[in-house]
Structure 1
């Protein structure tokens, strides 16, 4: 690019920079001024690129860099604090991500249900296994008191928080370690193995009705959330094994950003399951009523994915971050 007359360039564009300064000083912006802020930002970014390339001036580069930094913060702050953006996350980004990744987490769901059933059946035929894991006194305590008391021995509010944090941690590990693949399978196996052992023991001692009556109200939604996290984690692993038409870096980046979207949404899903576990599971409601609440919560989640999520996906939502938030794209002419 040929060198430019820096004084002439400043004279031609200084009024645009001044207008950007003016927009940044406004405390409240309308939709029109917010759009203008974006336009002025993009033009100033182009100006900075031109000056750096053809007539580097340290003082001017510093000024424009500072101006763009303030504008970037202002634009991001405007976006993330709008209720509209908050609502769009739960009507478009999160459900679209769930829907587009449905085969991954539905596969985890189905696989784990099969593994749970097989393990409980096998443990039922091999009582010596449970005896190698727990003493007879521990088994008696579990069957008679401990399993049932677990859901009511703490205040409901603190118990809901404890459950929420624990399940969020397990889900976060599934996503965070997903890039490695095997740790996700290990976490899932441990989760299902513990459930199978307890379920087999309770069933052997004719307490299966109590076991399922306490597990199903919250466990349906809770385990579904864990399976979603595991499926998303495994998809992240697959993104670098088979990047498709993208470069391996771009594939991992896209899958990672979508995983963050799912992780943020699952916080709310797990909050709901934690509330059910703390307030519904140990409640004096009839067993059928407690299970009905759990089944309803699960059906609402699936409707959210396959009705709201499908519609969001068809409208173009992917669960990824909006393109204009990913990076500054500046067009310059050579």
Structure 2
């Protein structure tokens, strides 16, 4: 178990925001979590779990003990007629896992390519993109209780997945560390192609029956065209959740603005494109201090250089007020806000 003190977290969050962690513990194996729990100083201290730092906005220093999750490992657990079960350490890059499954000849995760962050953070957020969510491919996960030091295993039902939501944002928030995640890749493989960007790729290329590798390449290309690389421009990916509204609310908004981008959901509700709502309010390209709205995708807030966390929060709140004022819709932030 490696321990660092007075660590500048600028390099540990993809927004590139300055903040200092009094104590940072590198969690390189499951036993390290138990060592923290048993530690005379850190055992009872508040904990802050840090993966790839792609889903946080740091607007203050972190006084809690930061657990930097770095547990490695990729393996095939089981190959069955109906599915392949793969497992990854919580510290692995999510995109590396997706690319690795494609290289092994296993389809199923290709729509989730190039999502930043670690494997361990994926179930917390129930990440999703291009018509697929983690919950659709989830099998189970292992973790360690931060109070007792005991290991636990949760299946899909116990994780209580929702839209960008899980039990780790509620009852288990800050109470456990995810150490390994297992995913179920169905056999036979079936492509998920309902998303508009993928349909456009099919039309552009003339490929009517793409394989998993082709979809993987398309998703990577679409994301690179729309979203900034955090290594070049600091950001936390999509900053706001796409709001879900009732059919009545959707009809009311369409009546006022027929161009609003919306998608029907299985339960009869409608998902609105938050990026479109923000763009319609004129925010694309605007800035508050060093924080700005990305010129190519209004859903993404960026660090234009030396931005402070407080500037990001000020910009986010102004956008929320603007969208609510025009559409009556309250946008909810995706990243964890430490301010």
TM bin (shorter chain)? under 0.3
Which structure shows the bigger proportion of residues in strand conformation? 2
- Report which structure shows greater RCO (CA 8 Å, sep ≥6): 1
TM-score (norm 2): 0.21
